[in-house]
Structure 1
Amino acid sequence: MTDVDDTTGRGKRVGWVELYFDLVFVFAVGQVAHGVVADPGWARAGQSFGLFATLWWTWIGFAVLYNRRGDDSRAADRLFVLAGTIPCAIAATQAHHVFEGHPAVFAAAMAGVRLILAAAHRWPAKAELDQSRISWGYTFSAVLFGVSAFTGHTWAFWVVALVQEAGFLLLGDRERGRPRERPTREARWRLMFTPPRDPNLKVDSAHLAERFGLFMILLLGELVITVGTAALERPSDNLGYWLALVGGLVLAGALWWVYFTSAVEIYERMLDLSGGNPALAYSLYAGGHLMPAFALLLIAGGVNLSVHESPPRAAMWFTTVGVTMYLAGTRVFAVGSRRWYFTVARVAVLAATVCLALLDRVLPAPAVVAVVAVWTVGAAGVTTVIRGRAKERFGQDPLAFLQSMRERGERSS
């Protein structure tokens, strides 16, 4: 985790109980990655994304709760988080049953964890109005997940629950009693960088950056464990073994570099400058990290499959599509230039990353992993330069930097 300097918020640190919760939770998302390996097809990958999104918003619920109201010095706050680990662990053990068409126990566990979140937002009894709204929202989600455990069309209930959670969890600054008008693009941008009027809605930038950074490390750890475990199952007296082992570890290190040297610091600074604006926190973290976080699981599944004796064709596509999603999701190729050919170059690089999977027609799968790793190292080097210049401009004049970003966003849309 990068050190927070004087330009960033001096917020609270991640609590010890949050780290314990994340360890339990990573077991759950690890089972999703294993599901991709068990049935390497795009249909299964789509199911895995739906399952991961369900778990992701569960984790987001506890991350936002502790960011706004949690305190390791209060026993009640610790107990709510510890209680949440139980249904999450149960859900982890039942993830494979969801793929088999038996989601009842998993859905019941998801209902149980949302009841815990609803109770946490009701504690203490004199909760603010917005906290009460979140509590009722989680209660409604619990009902939807509970009903889905006993009826058909399970995914439909889950989608409704997750969509409404995404709507209420990071509430914006709305004035009640006034008719809602659709804001202009410029107005939405300005609102995103305006501190919330209600201090209860403020998001602690330092805590959120550290919490997401630690969780991304745990997901990268899943990739490292996958590489090591798969390598143990292969004889070490051939070139393929060493290509898979070294290539997988280099790939994991390059992905770490991309995020922690090119993305995390500027995200934290932007959120701090906005005064903890919840809409910006949603854009950068809750919604913005969903794609790169799932991409790490997809990469882990692809690398695992690539070191099998007879890897399926999907193995390389999982790896290259995952790397592409990761690079696009972390926005590390956003050069900040108004020139059109930079946009074309960015799209070309992402397209080339996907197409590296075609190398499996002429190279064995472990060798393709090594090529993808070298390519990602190159991408990490490019993004370091790009983001280094962006952070320099941001430090010199943050408002001018954000203004230029707004203008580019308007042109691109």
Structure 2
Amino acid sequence: MRKLSWWTGPRAITQEVRHRRISWLELLSDLVYVIIIHQLTTGVIDDLSWSRLGIFILLFLVFFRNWVSMVQYFDRHGDESLRTMTFTLLHIIAITVVAIYIPDVYAGHLTPFLGAYFVNQGLLTYIWLSTGIYDVGHRPAAFTYNIAHDVGLVVIVAGLLMPSLQGQITSLVVWVMIDMVTDLLMIPIEDREHRMRHLDYAISSSLIERYGQFTMIILGEALATLVELSHEHLTWAFLLSLLDIICIWGIYYTSMDNLNIQIRRYADTLKYAYFNLLIIMSLFLHVLFVSRLLEANTSLNRLGLVVSILMLVGLLYGFNVFLNHNFSRDLQRVFGWTDAAATLLVISWLVVNPHWFQPLIIVTLFVLTITKLMWQERRRELPTE
């Protein structure tokens, strides 16, 4: 048992907390992302173009990776000390300030955003650096991570000094790439540390809950946006959009139920993290195009909705095949055939009369949801392989 003081270093990676529950501090931290998700959505809901869609995806990656960084810190090093609370609250303040400037990014003014993000990322970099300062055995991993992110901070500063909008956007893209490439650099270092310190890899229940909670934020934003776009009128299009979100919720949670994830190396943890990133991004894109379809039944909005469904169904199936040990070969065959049939139907609805497009999509998603629900109990009973 670790003895806490008012001000202490981060929890060492060797001091595992079994059956850790999400703290109130983490819930507060996630609450900020309700605002961020809303800001990202409103920036493209009224005026969608390819350039704005690109900015939307870029900003999503920037903020989601920021969220993942704090989630991983809590999972591996978080505790109930005053120090953890202080730095978490500072991060909440910093990322909230960054969110203020999201509309400026859509308007083509990145300088305030980059300045605020530099402060936020500098704080995160120190938080992770401190894990190596207080835990000598963790220094190779902590310092490698921070050297890479120091380079990223230099890139952000370079973006601040660039006069052109394209140069500033490029600096943000490079930052995201550095952040992701760092994950690959950490693979041999993390594996070496786990061998030397006899540590086990695991995906904690609290980590799974945090990802599920972020998904709920996305779906909550969908409901809020649909209500806002209804303009105080109950319409057939609103009801269809609401049913769409409910079906997507059912497909997601039936696919993510009864997980048995076994992690043997650091690359497996990255596989889990990046599957979740892509799944949540596809959900967010789906929310965007469902909302857009409520406003205008255009070919672009219909195509975007179909692509988001294909992404979501495919990624959820891949997640279970590659990571869930409770997903037996029988289930792989059953879900493979049902998912394939559903996606082919979804694609075929692009060529029907636009007025029938959304009802047919809803029927397809509803049948797929019911099929997955029917197999849910069967999934629990089938032996693992």
TM-score range, shorter chain: 0.7 to 0.9
- Which residue is 2:313 aligned to? 327
Give the corresponding residue for 2:50: 42
1:157 aligns with 2:187: no
CA deviation string 1:188-227 (max 9, x = no partner): xxxxxxx866467845421210110111111110111112
SS at match of 1:149: helix
Q: Deviations over 1:347-405 (max 9, x none)?
A: 4532432443444x341xxx644432332122222334556555544xx34xxx3xxxx
Deviation at 1:118, TM superposition (A): 1.2
Cα distance in 2 for partners of 1:296, 1:23 equals 19
Shift of the 203–166 alpha-carbon distance from structure 1 to 2, 3 Å rule, reads farther
Shift of 1:38: 2.5
Give the structure 2 partner of residue 182 of structure 1.
none
Q: Distance in 2 between matches of 1:337 and 1:113?
A: 47
1:214 equivalent in structure 2: 213
Equivalent-residue separation in structure 1 for 2:257 and 2:122 (angstroms): 32
Query: In structure 2, which of residues 105, 117, 120 is the aligned counterpart of residue 110 of structure 1?
Result: 117
With over 3 angstroms needed to count, the CA separation of the structure-2 counterparts of 1:313 and 1:52, relative to structure 1, is same
The reply on whether 1:356 has 2:349 as its aligned counterpart is: yes
> How far off is 1:121 after superposition?
1.5
Cα shift readout 1:268-316 (whole Å, capped 9, x = no counterpart): x21xx326x43222212x21122221222222222222223x5443232
* 1:315 corresponds to which of 288, 293, 301: 301
Change (3 A) 1:176 1:348: closer
Letter in 1 for 2:266: P
**Residue identity (%):** 19
CA distance in 1, matches of 2:199, 2:147: 17
CA RMSD in angstroms, aligned pairs only = 3.2
**Alpha-carbon separation, structure 2, partners of 1:351 and 1:105:** 45
Distance between the aligned counterparts of 2:380 and 2:267, measured in 1? 22
- Return the alpha-carbon distance in structure 1 between the equivalents of residues 366 and 263 of structure 2: 32
SS in 1 for 2:280: helix
Q: Report the Cα distance in structure 1 between the residues aligned to 2:276 and 2:332, rounded to whole angstroms.
A: 27
Which residue matches 2:66?
58
Distance in 1, matches of 2:347 and 2:103, equals: 28
Q: 2:367 aligns with which of 378, 381, 386?
A: 378
Shift of 1:173: 4.5
The alpha-carbon distance between structure 1 residues 338 and 100, as it changes in their structure 2 partners (threshold 3 A), is: same
Please list the CA deviations of residues 225-283 of structure 1 after superposition, one character each: whole Å capped at 9, or x if unmatched: 1121122x1534xxxx0x233222222222222222222432xx21xx326x4322221
Rounded to whole Å, the distance in 2 between the matches of 1:76 and 1:122 is 14
For the structure 1 residues 248 and 212, does the alpha-carbon distance in structure 2 shift closer, same or farther, using more than 3 Å as the test? same
The alpha-carbon deviation at position 59 of structure 1 amounts to 1.0
Is 1:126 matched up with 2:115? no
Distance 1:37 1:121, change over 3 A: same
Q: Which of 271, 277, 293 is the matching residue for 2:280?
A: 293
Q: Is the alpha carbon distance of 1:217 and 1:175 closer, same or farther for their aligned partners in structure 2, counting shifts above 3 Å?
A: closer
SS of aligned partner of 2:134:
coil
The 1:162/1:252 distance shift into structure 2, 3 A limit, reads same
Whether 1:250 and 2:243 are equivalent positions in the alignment is: yes
Q: Distance in 1 between matches of 2:310 and 2:266?
A: 28
Match of 1:185 in 2: none
CA spacing shift, 1:317–1:150, aligned 2, 3 Å: same
Q: Please, which moves more after superposition, 111-120 or 346-355?
A: 346-355
Consecutive unaligned residues of structure 2, counting only runs of 5 or more, are: 1-16, 322-326
- CA distance change for structure 1 residues 253 and 203 in 2, over 3 Å: closer, same or farther? same
Superposed displacement of residue 69, structure 1: 0.3
Residue in 2 aligned with 1:70? 78
- Tell me the alpha carbon deviations over residues 5-43 of structure 1, each in whole angstroms, 9 at most, x when there is no partner: xxxx95311221111111112311222222221322334
